[in-house]
Structure 1
Amino acid sequence: MKVFLPPRNRRLGTVDYLGLIGLAGLLVARFIPIAKLIPFWGCVLRERTGWPCLGCGLTRVADRVAHFNFVGAWEANPLGTVAAVLFALAAVAMVVHLVFAVPIPEIQLSLREWKAFQVVMPVIVLVNYAYVVVKTRFPHLLL
């Protein structure tokens, strides 16, 4: 892994765009009760079969992270909580970058590291999904 520190700038980059998305999403989650306003909001798969989908709990995660309830967010969907916190950190980095021209480090992975990431991420997603399934279908197994 190589880390590069570019010169001071205010150019929009990937982290800035992710920060904008994260800031918008967390502000909506904080101030607009989407799940209560939209009547058809919810997981169709879970409503019809009782089994959660891969994204089950993400609305609760966004709402709970926006209200600083990290424990509740973690219980809803651990990987979603990590993603929401990373979006929030990207929003902070974006503000610091654009206001103070602080450069955002650029990370370059080697081919071997990139291939390892491509193997590890699906495993993490499957473990997270297994947790969500157990949490919703078999909560008595989690003590």
Structure 2
Amino acid sequence: MKVSLPKPNRTFGLADVLGLVGLVGLLVARYIPVARLIPFWGCALRETTGWPCLGCGLTRVADRVAHFNLAGAWDANPLGTVAALFFALMVVVMLLHLVFAMPIPQLELSPREWHWVRLGAAVVVLLNYAWVVVKAKFPYLLA
């Protein structure tokens, strides 16, 4: 792994895009009740089969994180909560970068390191999905 720090700049990059997406997403979640306004909003898989999908709970996560209810967000979908908090962090990084020209560290991973990152991400997604399924279908196991 190689970490480098560029010179201070205000060049719009990936971190700024993620910050902008996070800002818009959290503002929408905070001020627009999407799930109430759109009649077909919801999980088609869960409505049809009763089983949650990989993304079940993400609307609730965004709404709860935007309202600073982190415990409720974690209860809806733990990995979604981590992702929402990451986007909130990227909003702060974007503002510091664009306003104060704060340099954003550049991270380079070797192919082997990328392999382990992808494998770890797959394991985390599967564990999160297992938790969401157990919570939805077998809540008595969590009591």
Give the TM-score normalised by the residue count of structure 2.
0.98
Query: Where does residue 73 of structure 1 map in the other structure?
Result: 73
Query: What is the CA–CA distance in structure 2 between the aligned matches of 1:61 and 1:42, rounded to whole Å?
Result: 14
Q: Displacement of 1:3 after TM fit?
A: 0.9
**Residue 137 of structure 1 aligns with which residue?**
137
The gaps in structure 1 that reach 5 residues or longer are none
Question: Which residue of the partner structure matches residue 35 of structure 1?
Answer: 35
- Kindly tell me the number of residue pairs found equivalent between the two proteins: 143
TM-score (normalised: structure 1): 0.98
Q: Aligned residues: percent identity?
A: 69
RMSD: 0.6
1:127 aligns with 2:127: yes
User: Counterpart amino acid of 1:25?
Assistant: G
Residue 27 (structure 2) pairs with residue 14 (structure 1): no
Deviation beyond 2 Å, 4+ runs, structure 1: none
Aligned to 1:110: 110
Q: Distance in 1 between matches of 2:44 and 2:98?
A: 40
Which residue is 2:60 aligned to?
Answer: 60
- Give the CA deviation at 1:119: 1.0
**Unaligned residue ranges in structure 2 (runs of 5+):** none
Shift of residue 118, structure 1, vs aligned partner: 1.3
Q: 1:45 matched to which residue of 2?
A: 45
- What is the distance in 2 between the residues matched to 1:111 and 1:40? 42
Deviation at residue 27 of structure 1 after TM alignment: 0.3
